[in-house]
Amino acid sequence: MAQAATTLPHVTFHEAAEARIVPWYLWCAVAAITCSMVGIHWDISWHRTIGRDSFLTPAHIMIYMCGVLAGISCGYLILATTFQRNHPLRDSSVRMWGFRGPLGAFIGAWGGIAMLTSAPFDDWWHNAYGLDVRIISPPHTVLALGMFGVMLGTVLLVLGRMNRAEGGDRRKLEWLYLYVAGMTVVNVFTFIMESSPRVIQHSALFYRNICIAIPFFLVSLARAAGRRWACTEICAVYMLFWSAMNYILPLFPAEPKLGPVYYPVTHFVPSNFPFWMIVPGFLLDLLFARTVVWPKLKLAAIAGALFLGGLIAVQWPFSMFLNSRYSKNWVFYGNNFDYNTRPTSYSLRDLYYPVEKTPEQFWTGMAIALAAAIITSWLGLYRGDFLKRVKR
């Protein structure tokens, strides 16, 4: 690597001139992703409780604030780094289209533009094909990609600064990084929320969906953190944030504005209890601590199996608890049914939906889940190594 790079003769390092360990634009980016996750959970609960919405609901405003704050943060960084010759980050920036700035700022700005693009696209979509009935539609996917861009941009902004820092400064930035990484995992779980309801948690489909979506992000983000318990800590952030939203939302009264109302709702409906991800996360941390020199494929094979095994070990029995009368309280909110939940539905009757009709289908599905966990863990290991080296 050193052979491939050449040192400029007149390089100056201005970053030390920045007094604050976490400058305002980093706080601004972190606030952006917090707004997006609070907004999206609020919005989902809004649809489950009230049913209909408009362009300017509080939940939508929170989501739009993500784009605004990301635009302020990343726009400032790119413009300041490009046009201020003595800017502290000028030497720690990448170049694109004649502009300079941290890599995370460009990705965050890209996310902001994608979010901006999704707004008129989504509005036209509503007029052409009807109002929202599904989370996953083309304009919503553009919005999700934009939010993910802001999320990844923030991860890289924090990570680049963290990787350039040392000692106590780095340790402080690591806490901020764990929060941002945890919110990234929240984002992914939010995107697959419709694909992981309680009624399918005894099916291979549920585990396959989780194994496709999560290990890549968890493994890569944890590997870049360089901390002993990074997986556990990131998963804990996910569980804490998810729980906080689920405890706060039901405090506020709300009533359905769409019918038919099969299930009476008087307050905002929370989502499901978070998955016990700290268990597979803890197992991954134990593995990674003892296998530093293992080849990636071998490590991914064990990591994938541990992830899936740990998830099954905890989530399979816990879903039975959620399906019992003991979960019907404010702690576990097992009665978090939408206003339009029919009395005959599997969820209201605390039943599992038989996704796989035969044992062969079930075990084939589980084999696919295992393969997915291994492949995504392997990709995560590679991506984590890249993230560990990001300095700009």
The residues that touch other proteins, with contacts defined as CB under 8 A, are 1, 3-8, 11-13, 15, 51-52, 91-92, 94-97, 103, 106-107, 110, 113-114, 116-117, 120-121, 124, 126-133, 137-138, 141, 156, 160, 164, 255-262, 339, 386, 389-392
Pick 110 or 378: Cβ nearer other proteins: 110
Q: How far is the CB of 255 from other proteins (least distance, A)?
A: 4
How far is the C-alpha of 23 from the C-alpha of 25, rounded, in Å?
Answer: 6
Pick 92 or 323: Cβ nearer other proteins: 92
Q: How far is the CB of 101 from other proteins (least distance, A)?
A: 10
- Are the beta carbons of 223 and 385 closer than 8 angstroms? yes
How far is the C-alpha of 279 from the C-alpha of 286, rounded, in Å?
Answer: 11
- Are the beta carbons of 171 and 20 closer than 8 angstroms? no
How far is the C-alpha of 232 from the C-alpha of 239, rounded, in Å?
Answer: 10
Pick 257 or 298: Cβ nearer other proteins: 257
- Are the beta carbons of 306 and 283 closer than 8 angstroms? yes
Q: How far is the CB of 300 from other proteins (least distance, A)?
A: 21
How far is the C-alpha of 354 from the C-alpha of 248, rounded, in Å?
Answer: 33
3-class SS at 95? Answer: strand
Pick 129 or 363: Cβ nearer other proteins: 129
Q: How far is the CB of 143 from other proteins (least distance, A)?
A: 12
- Are the beta carbons of 308 and 207 closer than 8 angstroms? yes
Task: Look up tokens 């201020």; give the residue.
Answer: 84
Element (H, E) at 202: none
Burial (Cβ within 10 Å: 0-12, 13-18, ≥19) of residue 140: middle
How far is the C-alpha of 352 from the C-alpha of 346, rounded, in Å?
Answer: 6
Q: How far is the CB of 260 from other proteins (least distance, A)?
A: 4
Pick 133 or 359: Cβ nearer other proteins: 133
Task: Look up tokens 């038919």; give the residue.
Answer: 260
Pick 20 or 357: Cβ nearer other proteins: 20
Pick 118 or 271: Cβ nearer other proteins: 118
Q: How far is the CB of 152 from other proteins (least distance, A)?
A: 10
Pick 122 or 285: Cβ nearer other proteins: 122
Q: How far is the CB of 26 from other proteins (least distance, A)?
A: 17
The candidate with the shortest Cα–Cα distance to 28, out of 60, 63, 64, 76, is 76
Q: How far is the CB of 81 from other proteins (least distance, A)?
A: 12
Task: Look up tokens 């291979």; give the residue.
Answer: 204
What letter represents residue 315's amino acid? Q
